[in-house]
Amino acid sequence: MKPLIAICSQDADFYLLLSHILEVDGFTPMLAASIDDVLALVCAKPIAAVLLDCRADNHLAAQSSRLKQDTAVGALPCVALVHAGAEAQLIQLLQSGIDECFVRPFAPAKLLQDLRSRLAIGLTPEPATQDGRPLAYADVEMRLDTHRVSCAGKEIALGPIEFKLLRHMLENPERVLSRAELIGAAWARNRGVGARTVDVHISQLRKQLSQCSGDAAIRTVRLAGYALARSPS
């Protein structure tokens, strides 16, 4: 599945241009007209990253802090595309926790390279496992070389954080994993992630597994963490 990129913009021409650039490079763009639309979209789709079309006549920079404060969006890469004349918004964007800012004009290749780096796309493919087989437990299977996950034979779409969490669980089936360990596995470069954020993403992953798996489930171990285990018979 191609990574979904939310583009927050009210300029149709700019969205069409940017979406074409993203599609050619293997991404799937999705339009969001406001910060509220971005928050709703992330809840409904496995969005991989967010792009903000920041201009002097809109308020995206002023509202950008809402993205990083949201438990579902905060862990996603958020990149601001700042138009000429709106450079004064840069400090505001950086203070809100936005991951990267590009001031126009800029080479599209730099944006694409940044996205691919943050999403670990286009790097040397990993083998499924050391012996070439996929990671598997019960009826859940993950192929690292193609970034695909299937559950009871049906492919499921996971966001980048849920994918990393499930990978760590498949590598350590039935072992109780603390929230600190899961943060290290899924948010290696983000020290500001808290337990609540882990709980939210585990809840999303658990929901997707429960909808398709009859043999695997995520078990909550009070005061300890989570474990991928067999579903109760």
From 126-130, 134-138, 222-226, the region with the lowest mean pLDDT: 126-130
pLDDT value at 58 more than 80 = yes
pLDDT at residue 191, as a whole number: 53
Strands 47-54, 78-82: pairing kind: parallel
Region class of 34: left (phi > 0), else alpha (psi between -120 and 50), else beta: beta
Most confidently modeled of 70-74, 125-129, 216-220? 216-220
Q: Which residue has the higher pLDDT, 109 or 218?
A: 218
User: In the prediction, which pLDDT does 189 show?
Assistant: 59
224 vs 123, higher pLDDT? 224
The backbone torsions φ and ψ at residue 67, rounded to the nearest 5 degrees and listed phi first, read -70, -50
Please report how the helices 195-212 and 179-186 are oriented relative to each other, as an axis angle in degrees rounded to 10. 80
Give the model confidence (pLDDT) of 154-189 as tens digits: 888 887 788 889 999 999 999 999 988 888 888 765
Residue 203 pLDDT > 50, yes or no? Answer: yes
Q: What's the pLDDT score for residue 1?
A: 64
Q: What is the mean pLDDT of residues 22-48?
A: 90
Domains for the chain: give ranges and CATH numbers: 4-118 (3.40.50.2300), 135-230 (1.10.10.10)
pLDDT-above-90 percentage for the chain: 33
Average pLDDT over residues 52-77: 85
Tokens of 212: 């398709």
Dist CA 4 CA 169 (whole Å): 24
pLDDT of residue 123: 43
Residue range 82-122, pLDDT digits in tens: 988 888 888 888 888 888 888 888 888 889 888 888 887 65
The residue that leads in pLDDT, 127 or 55, is 55
Report the percentage of the chain scoring pLDDT > 70. 91
Beta-ladder partners of 30: 6
Residue 142 scores a pLDDT above 70: yes
Conformation bin of residue 50: beta by default, left when phi > 0, alpha when psi is -120 to 50: beta
pLDDT tens-digit map of 161-170:
888 899 999 9
pTM: 0.56
> What integer best gives the mean pLDDT of the chain?
85
